[in-house]
Structures are given as structure tokens and as C-alpha cells.
Amino acid sequence: MSDRRAPWIAGLLVAAALVVVIVTTTPWHLIDLPKPDPALDFTSAEIDRQQRFRHALLPWSTTSWVLSVVVPLAIGFSPLGKRLYDVLRLRRWWLAVPVLVAALGLLTSVITLPTDALAEQVTRDYGLSTESWGLWLRDRAVNWLLMSVALIAIALGLIALAKKWRTWWWAPAAIAGAVLVLGVSFAYPVLVEPRFNDFTSMAPGAQRDAFMQLAREDGVPVKDVLVADASKRTTALNAYVSGFGSTRRLVVYDTLLNDATPAQVRLVVAHELGHAAEDDVLHGTLIGTLGAAFAVVLLRLLLGARMADPRRTALLLALIVSGTTLAAPVQNLVSRKIEARADYHSLRLTNDPKDFVEMQHALSVTNISGLEPSAWRYWMFASHPTPPERIAMGRAWGTEHGDPVPPLVK
């Protein structure tokens, strides 16, 4: 196989594998749904509050997102990227690259700081955020540090491999990228999550026993239920599953335990058990490993041997930002289908469509979730179905099983 044809063939094979995995493993259809209608279950006051919140929040959050994309693109796709590398005047490329990566990340964080702060103020005004400004700044610093470490590792690895194997660097890099995604997904619960929250085992009692019994009935091995101290940052209600194998954990927010009814908490936990039962984290990791391998091959096709030039580090970051932005709609589409399956699992496990609908309503009101986002926001940012879509599933499931749920708004 020629050096020129090999990356094209590898790219096509990995892309085909990625498409096959997504198409064959994503639950595209679970149940026929009625048309979602917020007016059936949300009062005019609740709808108005949600609209006012989003009207106040979205200009700032959208501006921050646009800046976070435009800044690295403007630098990376212009001569400015190389000039910034030269300004560093560091003789060792393996010192210059980390400094440049960290500096560009810091620059983006500083540029988006004002609009991020204005968005944060809106969440405070509506009672959604409870964290101090000191904790908010600390979270931003930790996030910048973690992202810098990840991007530095990627940049150093790619450039080092390209320097060693000018033509075939992409082959070991693709394998390394896939292994990196696998490792990060496995280690994330024990290395990253504790940087933002403290986790404690749920205290022994009737509620914990009920959760463990629910897991046993579902055939999902759960050693423990962890409680995150989310209330130091937010009033939002949530739970999640992360990791796989020995690092898999079921986590509930302390706000959920404190502010939701036992029946609603049970349904949320059943939803998370659905993720565990279907190995959704592992499924997402598999897609991520193939995506990482494809991204490396694509870099080879775009940059070739120029990947060995550390002066193109800013261009590399711009290409990474471009790729993740373009991939977001597909990732969110798959995520919404996976989340819908977990909702369906929750309904099957609890056989409680009435409380399911009331739970989705309560979560949406407390979290001030968007009820009818614009089409582009839905495709670009929505990793979960909208609350009316989730309520429609609960109502459809209840009707199909002889337990119809009437509208919550009379």
C-alpha cells in the first residue's frame, strides 16, 4: 500500500465503522409519540418565566460560545498563530508548545470572562446558581487547567510522532488517540469529578435500600449510591452515571434528594440505571474512540508531514475546535436518543407514568429548562430531549399500557 493511499483507505474504513456503530446501536425509535405541547403541562406563568430566563441568558451564553469558537479559529487559521509561537522565543519546541497551548486557552477564557459573568449573574437572579464568585472563578481556573493538560498532551504527542515518522505518524497517533479516549472515560469519575464536587455514600436508610433493591430488580450491579454536594453551586436537580467497569458510579445531587419527592427520585434513579443497564457510557466511549482515530487520520490528510512543525500548534488547536463544533449536532442527536431510551427504561422499571410526567414537569420548572428551543439551538446544544418531548413519552407509554396520564394543566 502506498504512503499516499494508506491514510485515505484508513480514513474511509474508520469512518465506515463509525457510521455503522452509530446507525446500528442508536435506539432510533422506541414508541410513537404525540406532538409535544408545553401548554398541556406547564402553566402560562411557568412558560413565561422560562422564556424570560432564556431571553436574559441566551445573549450572553451564546456570545461566550461564539467567542470560544471564533478566537482559536481566528488565531489558528491566520499568520498570527505562527507569530505567537515565534514571540515565545523558546529554543525547545516541547517547552514552547505547552506554553502556547496554555496561553491560547487562557486568552479565550479571559475574552469570554465578561459574557460568562453576565450569564452567571442571570442564573443568580433566577435562583438557579448558589455558588460564590470565588468558587465560580476557581471552577473556571480548574477547567482551563484540565483542558490545557489534555490539549498539551495531544499536541505534544502528535508533533513528537510526526517528527519521528514523517509519513506514517498518523497510524500510531490514531491508535494512541483511541486509547486516550478510552482511558479518560474510564478514569474521569476518579480523576476529574472530585476536582469539582465532594462525594459521599448515601446514608443507610429506607431510601438507599429502595435504590439498591431497584438496581437488583433491574439486574444492574450497583455497589453504592454516591451523593454529590451540588447545592454549593446550584439549585438544579440532577443525577448521572459515569465511568465503566470498576469506575462506574451512580451519583445523585443532594438537591434532588432534598427537594424532590421519593417517587420522583426513584424515577430519576431508574433512568440512570437504564444508562448502566445499556452500558451507555461504554457505548459513548466506543464512538469516541472511533471518532478520535478518524480525527487523527483527517489531520494527516489536511496537514501531512507539516504536523511535525510546532509553529503550526495554533492551527492544530483551530482544527480541533472546528472538528468538535461540526461533530456536536451528531453527538447530540445520538445523546438525545440514548437519553430517551433511559426514560423508556425508567417507565418500564417503575410502571409509573403519572409520577414520571410530574417528575419531568418538576425538574423542568426547577431547572428552568428550555421548553421549545429554536431549531439550531436544539441541534447544536440539546443533549437531552426537551421536557415536553419527555412528557410526551411518559404519556404515550401510559396510554399504551392502559394507564393514561391527563394533562397537568386543567
DSSP state for residue 210 in the 8-state scheme: H
pLDDT at 41: 97
> To which H or E segment does residue 240 belong?
strand 239-242
pLDDT at 220 over 90: no
Q: What average pLDDT does the segment 324-332 reach?
A: 97
Please indicate whether residue 389 is annotated as part of the active site: no
Q: Residue written as cell 427537594?
A: 259
Residue type, 380: M
List binding-site positions for Zn(2+): 271, 275, 339
Contact 148, 156 (CB under 8 A): no
pLDDT at 2: 65
pTM: 0.94
Q: Using H for helix, E for strand and C for coil, what is the string for 253-285?
A: EHHHHHHCCHHHHHHHHHHHHHHHHCCHHHHHH
Query: SS3 of 137, please?
Result: helix
**In 3D, which of 311, 295, 296, 1 has the Cα closest to residue 161?**
296
Q: What average pLDDT does the segment 282-296 reach?
A: 95
Task: Give the residues across from 199 on adjacent strands.
Answer: 228
List binding-site positions: 271, 275, 339
Q: What average pLDDT does the segment 349-355 reach?
A: 95
Min mean pLDDT across 72-81, 150-159, 274-283, 314-323 is at 274-283
Q: What average pLDDT does the segment 231-252 reach?
A: 89
Q: What average pLDDT does the segment 254-283 reach?
A: 93
pLDDT at 246 over 60: yes
pLDDT per residue as tens digits for the range 14-35: 999 999 999 999 999 999 999 9
pLDDT at 1 over 80: no
pLDDT at 287 over 90: yes
Measured distance CA(266)–CA(359) in Å, rounded: 10
pLDDT per residue as tens digits for the range 48-104: 999 999 999 999 999 999 999 999 999 999 999 999 999 998 989 999 999 999 999
pLDDT at 223: 79
> To which H or E segment does residue 301 belong?
helix 280-303
**In 3D, which of 173, 113, 176, 385 has the Cα closest to residue 299?**
173
Contact 363, 16 (CB under 8 A): no
Question: Band of the pLDDT at 224, cuts 50, 70, 90?
Answer: confident
Active-site residue among 120, 343, 352, 358?
343
Share the mean pLDDT of the chain.
Answer: 94
Question: What share of the chain has pLDDT > 70, as a percent?
Answer: 100
Cell of 306: 507539516
**In 3D, which of 214, 212, 258 has the Cα closest to residue 235?**
258
Cell of 118: 453576565
pLDDT at 112 over 90: yes
pLDDT at 222 over 90: no
Q: How many other CB atoms sit within 10 Å of the CB of residue 200?
A: 11
pLDDT at 121: 98
> To which H or E segment does residue 11 belong?
helix 5-25
pLDDT at 173: 97
Active-site residue among 41, 120, 272, 352?
272
Task: Write out the DSSP string of 322-382.
Answer: HHHHHHHHHHHHHHHHHHHHHHHHHHHHH--HHHHHHHHHHHHHHHT--SS--HHHHHHH-
DSSP state for residue 129 in the 8-state scheme: B
> Is 241 or 52 the better-scoring residue by pLDDT?
52
Please indicate whether residue 343 is annotated as part of the active site: yes
Question: What share of the chain has pLDDT > 90, as a percent?
Answer: 86
Question: Band of the pLDDT at 241, cuts 50, 70, 90?
Answer: confident
Q: Using H for helix, E for strand and C for coil, what is the string for 65-128?
A: HHHHHHHHHHHHCCCHHHHHHHHHCCCCHHHHHHHHHHHHHHHHHHHHHHHHHHHHHHHHHCCC
